[in-house]
Structure 1
Amino acid sequence: MSMDEHVLEKFGWGPSFQEAWRSRASEGEEPARIAADHGVEYVLYSAHGDLRATVPGRLRMAIRKGESVRPVVGDWVSFEPRLQEGTSVIQAVLPRRTQLVRKAAGRTEAEQVVAANVDVVFLVSALTRDLNPRRLERYLTVAWDSGAQPVVVLTKADLCEDVVAARERIAALAPDVPLHTVSSLTGEGLDVLWQYIGGNRTVALIGSSGVGKSTLINRLLGSARMEVGEVREDDKGRHTTTHRELFVLPQGGLVIDTPGMRELGLMESEEGLRTAFVDIEELAAGCRFSDCRHETEPGCAVQEAVRDGRLSPERPENYRKLVQETKKATRALNDSQKKRGR
């Protein structure tokens, strides 16, 4: 490993990226990681320090044709440094180890990559009126499908009258997923989060606006780098984060902040869905019919679990909803690929 590549280790550089870069980089190119995405311009973490970068027309055309992916925060790229010009040019995106994907906003069925090369996903929700088990089920599905490790982080413990009851309510959704309650105001529970961040790992935070993602990142950074907004009287937060950004923590490790997402549309998340709803998948094996929809069919083991109190009625209902959403997204993606192939 060269001296320049050694410098990149604090940004998450490792053998898999090193091999991918050396197999495709041209003379004069160097590796770097995307730290911020401002739409037409990026910020790179490189061996030269922080650099501004753009995407050339050739790569933009390949992205439009579906022949290349659009660079996002967390990506490792091969770039051509033009230090005298004050900017650099991204030439290629290296293969991703993991990626957080959501359905793009609006009616389109196109996918939107939220962040790349993430090791751990903090699913952040506040212990206030924002606490929504159905939304967390959706977040868990996306996190499992990304290839990263999901961790549920319940913030604003100082504002919750019964933390134990709220914790038990959420823990029942995914017993095997780590769950932590914290208060960024008092510092309660923050120390335990460092076990997921050390070793130059990358953690992404996802959650709706107002749950305290920016405040949490400020506590991890040890400084007020992120703007923090007030929560409205209806308990809905204002969007203080307007773009995705990768931060290097003083103690080591990296965190990615993302704009608040009250709705998180699913793409092809069948594997993630099965993992997020493993209890229903296991119960379904005992249904009389293999194609049981878990509604009114006789011999439905899922509905039997609802009747005897082992399963909340809302959980299979949300499961059916997400299954249909995933199937719809899969059909739309297949149709799009067929049209592109014509």
Structure 2
Amino acid sequence: MTYSTLADLGWSAHFARQLDDDSTGTPARLCEIHRDRVEALSPAGPLTLRSPDSTGAYAVGDWVLARDGLVLSRLERLTTVSRRAAGEAAQRQLIAANVDTLGIVTSCNDDFNVARLERYLALAAMGGSLPLIILTKADLTDEPDDFRRQAEALSPMVSAIALNAHDAAAVDQLTPWCKSGQTLALVGSSGVGKTTLQNALTGIIDATQDIRSDDAKGRHTTTARALRPTLAGGWLIDTPGMRELRLTDAAEGIDAVFDDIVSLITQCKFNDCAHETEPGCAVQAAIAAGALDAGRLKRWRKLKNEDRYSTESVHDARERYRKLGKMYKAHKKPR
């Protein structure tokens, strides 16, 4: 498949400004990342590219300049979606790049979890993508609007849609977020319907296993990220289900999601207020008046503390590897 213009692939003025008279190579957008190569799309058609750098430095959705089957350089990203990598290693994992809208998929059942949604909203805010909460399985509840209202109450940035992912007309509600030049990425737990949404939006049928009777969750076969064209003319990035979502370097994103608490903090009597029992605490006053949920304050504290620890761990690991690299180079120098 070929695309008539770079704009069809999501090219914008942000990327054009990075080119100058000395720029060489053809712009291409990465659609798949493999250990030894990357797959890309260009107006001339698909490309298989090698890179002098590790492919781990790239994300699906990145723009690169390529020539003769090689990646020459990566253009600065407009947005990023990343988290702290799973496991004990203090590393950041790139999930996707240049995503206009982050579709946070959950369902109108026990998967709906306010604390998890707030994490995903912080993920979107810290990377610069617009958040859209997509509530699937709306046909299996009598009150889908209750779930939608709860989702939209989490942040003024949020739009939320409740739908039946198996109903093509309902899925058409997502068209504004994945039409020509737009990129929508889907994130969420396994079994909430991301693959079913992908199938409806792209016309590409991926295997979706039967629903488990014990927890009403489907099992699908998405194991890697890929950039796919949508029927509406835009782009979709589906991601494997995340068992855990740990944030790092997300302080600004967390504050954006919890803007109501951040605003209250500025009204506290003391600058070092811990928002517990101090006199003149605007946060505790709001809780007492019923204007702020105490649980929301608790979740904000947890995210801030976790991000602080995670960010310090990642920075410490980078510094350690930097020092080890210097020692290794010094040892390798001829004497």
The aligned counterpart of 2:49 is: 53
Q: Mind listing any 5+ residue stretches in structure 2 that lack a counterpart?
A: 327-335
SS at match of 2:18: helix
Following superposition, the deviation at residue 111 of structure 1 comes to 0.9
1:282 aligns with 2:263: yes
Counterpart in the other structure of 1:11: 9
Structure 2 counterpart of 1:109? 90
Retained in 2: the 8 A contact 1:182–1:188?
Answer: no
Question: 2:330 is matched with which residue?
Answer: none
**More divergent stretch after superposition (289-298 vs 94-103):** 289-298
Q: CA offset at residue 250 of structure 1?
A: 2.9
Alignment of 1:204-283 (within 5 A): 204-221=185-202, 223-232=203-212, 233-238=214-219, 240-283=221-264
**In 2: Cα distance, 1:227 partner to 1:304 partner:** 52
- Contact persistence 2:59–2:95 (CA under 8 A): yes
Q: Which of 35, 40, 45 lines up with 2:36 in the alignment?
A: 40
Distance of 1:227 and 1:38 partners within structure 2: 21
* Distance apart, 1:206 and its partner CA: 1.1
Is it true that 1:140 corresponds to 2:138 in the alignment? Answer: no
Moved more, 246-255 or 126-135: 246-255
CA separation in 1, counterparts of 2:22 and 2:4? 19
Equivalent in the alignment of 1:30 = 26
In structure 2, the residue matched to 1:84 is none
State the one-letter code of the partner of 2:106: S
> Is the alpha carbon distance of 1:304 and 1:247 closer, same or farther for their aligned partners in structure 2, counting shifts above 3 Å?
same
Structure 1 residue 127, shift from structure 2 partner: 0.9
Number of residue equivalences = 321
- Decide whether the 8 Å contact of 2:261 with 2:297 is kept in 1: yes
Structure 2 counterpart of 1:14, one-letter code = S
Contact 1:197-1:254 within 8 A present in 2 as well = yes
Match of 1:74 in 2: 61
Query: Does the alignment pair 1:154 with 2:135?
Result: yes
> Contact conserved, 2:145 with 2:162, CA < 8 A, in 1?
no
Do the aligned partners of residues 330 and 24 (structure 1) sit closer, same or farther apart at CA in structure 2, a change above 3 Å counting? farther
Moved more, 147-156 or 133-142: 147-156
Are the structure 2 counterparts of residues 51 and 19 from structure 1 closer, same or farther at C-alpha, using a change threshold of 3 Å?
A: same
Q: 1:91–1:239: structure 2 CA closer, same or farther, 3 Å change rule?
A: farther
Q: Secondary structure at the match of 2:148?
A: helix
Q: Is the 8 A contact 2:105 2:194 kept in 1?
A: yes
Matched residue, 1:129: 110
Counterpart Cα distance in 2 of 1:235 and 1:128:
9
Residue 153 of structure 1 aligns to a residue in which SS?
A: strand
Give TM-score scaled by structure 2 length.
0.87
TM-score after normalising by structure 1: 0.86
| 1:309-324 to 2 correspondences below 5 Å | 309-324=290-305
Give the secondary-structure state (helix, strand or coil) at the position aligned to 1:39: coil
CA positional deviation for 1:21? 4.2
Partners of 2:261 and 2:83 in 1: how far apart? 23
In 2, distance between residues paired with 1:73 and 1:23? 27
Query: CA–CA distance in 2 between the matches of 1:110 and 1:157?
Result: 37
Gaps of 5+ in 1: 64-68, 82-87
User: More deviation in 293-302 or 157-166?
Assistant: 293-302
In 2, the alpha carbon distance for the partners of 1:290 and 1:185 equals 52
Asked if 1:92 is matched to 2:73, the reply is yes
Give percent identity, aligned residues only.
Answer: 38
For the aligned residues, what is the CA RMSD? 2.3
CA distance in 1, matches of 2:70, 2:216: 43
Which residue is 2:332 aligned to? none
Any idea what SS the aligned residue of 1:268 has?
Answer: coil
Deviation at 1:276, TM superposition (A): 0.4
> How far 1:163 sits from its partner (Å)?
1.2
Offset at residue 195 of structure 1 (A):
1.7
Cα distance per residue 1:182-232 (max 9 Å; x no partner): 1112346433322222241111111111111111111112x2433323343
For the 8 Å contact 1:210–1:230, the answer to whether it is kept is no
The residue identity in structure 1 corresponding to 2:158 is V
- Cα distance between partner residues in 2 of 1:98 and 1:146: 5
Check conservation: 1:210, 1:229, Cα contact below 8 A: no
